[in-house]
Amino acid sequence: MGEEARHGQMLYQQYNCTACHQFYGLGGYMGPDLTNVISNRGEAYSRAFITAGTVRMPNFGLNEEEVSALVTYLGFVDQTGTYPPENYDVLWTGDVAQEDDPR
């Protein structure tokens, strides 16, 4: 993970985005899962939500650099896999392997 993504991860924790959002289905359930929000919706779309909030999502008053860091972090998470998994095997260990998983 690069420097900017790490900064974004810190902000994600600091502003407790996980209270309302999930990665891989884990987190609060008020807002949508963000695992693949960058692939599915794009950077500009995500940036707009994070910058302005909505009726239900708070506007955190983040500056442009903070919004960019969060979008970079979401881009990093997006590269780690697909949720919900499209093609997967349940291994004898009980682990779930996605098709593009090297295991």
Question: Are 30 and 24 a contacting pair, CB within 8 Å?
Answer: no
Nearer to ligand HEC, 22 or 98 (CB): 22
Does 57 contact ligand HEC by CB under 6 A? Answer: yes
Q: Which residues, numbered 36-55, are part of the site for ligand HEC (CB under 6 A)?
A: 37, 41, 46, 49-50, 54-55
Smallest gap from residue 102 Cβ to ligand HEC (A): 28
Q: Which residues, numbered 61-100, are part of the site for ligand HEC (CB under 6 A)?
A: 70
Q: How far apart are CA 96 and CA 103, in angstroms?
A: 10
Phi first, then psi: give them for residue 15, nearest 5 degrees: -90, 5
Both structure tokens of 78: 């997006």
